[in-house]
Amino acid sequence: MVKKVIAVVVLIALLGVAIVQAMDKKAEPENVSQEAANMGGLKVGAKAPDFELKTLSGDTVKLSDLKGKKVMLNFWATWCPPCKAEMPAMEEFHKEAGDEVVILAVNIDPHLDVKAFVDENGITFPIPLDAEDKVNETYQV
């Protein structure tokens, strides 16, 4: 009889643990792309997801074409105060680094006047425009 009681208690405990773990799993947010969801989120040291975007100057830039180069990938918006504050330092770094480092400053609000902002601040590095918000989603910015 004691063995049966212990077996029932152990089974109930295991069932309770299984229910708690099942309820504890968080569903992926709807705005996360399938690629990012499949990756389990972006992890340190993981290969950066590839993307291809038009730049402000009309060129096309594809991340995978820069394989083997040092790339500084930045996401920014014209309405973002920290983004505005970092741009002069990034421009200075761009001038100092020259061809050693490629800066890709992906703009996430291309519907605003990005060109005026870039011209006003004397930015010379490439500004890819994420018009469809796909790269922003993939990188979970």
Widest CA span of the chain, in angstroms? 84
User: The whole model's pTM is what?
Assistant: 0.68
Q: Which residue has the higher pLDDT, 93 or 6?
A: 93
pLDDT at position 20: 74
| Stretch 80-97: mean pLDDT | 94
Of 102, 105, 112, 115, nearest in space to 135 by CA: 105
pLDDT at position 32: 42
pLDDT at position 25: 54
Q: What's the rounded Cα separation, in Å, for the pair 65 and 135?
A: 16
Say if residues 104 and 70 touch (Cβ distance below 8 Å). Answer: no
Domain locations along the chain: 2-138
Summarised one tens digit per residue, pLDDT across range 105-136 is 999 998 889 999 999 999 999 999 999 999 99
Summarised one tens digit per residue, pLDDT across range 22-53 is 766 544 344 444 554 454 567 888 889 999 99
Angle between helices 81-97 and 114-121 (to 10 degrees): 50
pLDDT at position 28: 39
Region 2-138: CATH code: 3.40.30.10
Summarised one tens digit per residue, pLDDT across range 66-78 is 999 999 999 999 9
Strand partners, 103: 72
